[in-house]
Structure 1
């Protein structure tokens, strides 16, 4: 057991980049982590890590050992999950990361129902539009759009959300309803800026299976989608909003959808939808708690976002 404690402390320290981060993940002190690793090194009669107060680095022996034991530790975790499955128990901490808007409008209303089904779980929801690192931040699953994917993740498409171009009745009364996508250059367009890299997200449409981005006149830019929706409702201009943001306003008559499918399609086209992906660090991260959460989302996300 002492060896396994040492292996776990060693692997977590390497994955998370420091003894302090490993101690937080394991729920023990940094001194205990250091002692566990020291005992492991003594048993192996070799140094695995070069440690300072601010950083650590693998020795050559440590690199070889890490590559061998990281899979063993993951397999043991999966075995423990399998036992939990037989016993009908899903427990532990589940840390979820996703964009602020998806968390606020989609996940937050669903999580109480999920917790009722699995009350032994401790759920942490991290709502952020910045890039997150699964291993460094102890994240079990992240929900990302296509533009946020990278090769280090295992990603499966979760859902497709329509995007809605819309404006307030007051704005359209004063400025007219655009008869074609080309007329967007004559209207006040409200665009979203990604907070992390400050990239302004362009508007895209699908026409006859082809994707295109029209020229638009940018009147305002905002890095918070709910604030952008409020500006739109107040008559600021035309915005592109995810259906889960726009639909309540449309139902209340506070926003009017534009370029609807089937309406002058030769002039309009269809708004390109937004794909969301369920992401884990690797195949070993598909633990029981992650799998039941993925199944829950597939069962409870809307079939239609209208």
Structure 2
């Protein structure tokens, strides 16, 4: 049975969680076990959606968190409070990850605040629906790649200057990297690029003892959905998944927490698929 959401839309990306009805579920479903005790994590797109759930989940496991976000200040401050409620320290850093100078500054601020960097979660993304391939403008193509690919490269480049053996990088990609999406061609292309980036970087960093993995969510109830689609689509978001519903951020974030922890110590270059039952090539 499909769990439909009320029709709704938002005027701009990446969207605000505070405006969503119902609110996405972000709280971890189980008590923490100290799997990330004392670790420092930087999470892009950490203010809302999957990023918020990752931040809270990592805090429950003992991490302190730098929440990097574009300009959704209300969401970011709420996430900071949620991390602190779990016993973690937190800072919020606003800016555009498509700008390499900002990525460098965000990493530096994180290290200044916490003393080091152990975990990088590349998660921020944008997508724009276009019905006809010929309507994808050069400006949109560049903007989507700048956020979804260049941002991952820039943040990783500057984070690696501080990461040591035992560190972990987790990249959020998407089910669209594997099955495509006719109205999100440029977005799907960026998600495919991140799969290749994850696998290649894992090989490059293996000797340094730094693991790199990915998570490829299916349809998840996040602010990006009402900020991307019309009300009719939003109301049916996730209906085509085998489970017949959209997933919740806390059903995805557990993958990020696992991959960042020593429980995944023999995993690198891999992608996990919390997608509601869609079978894809790994």
TM interval, shorter chain, is: under 0.3
TM-score computed with the length of structure 2 as normaliser: 0.24
TM-score computed with the length of structure 1 as normaliser: 0.23
Higher relative contact order (CA 8 A, sep 6+): 2
| Greater strand content | 1
Q: Rg larger in 1 or in 2?
A: 1
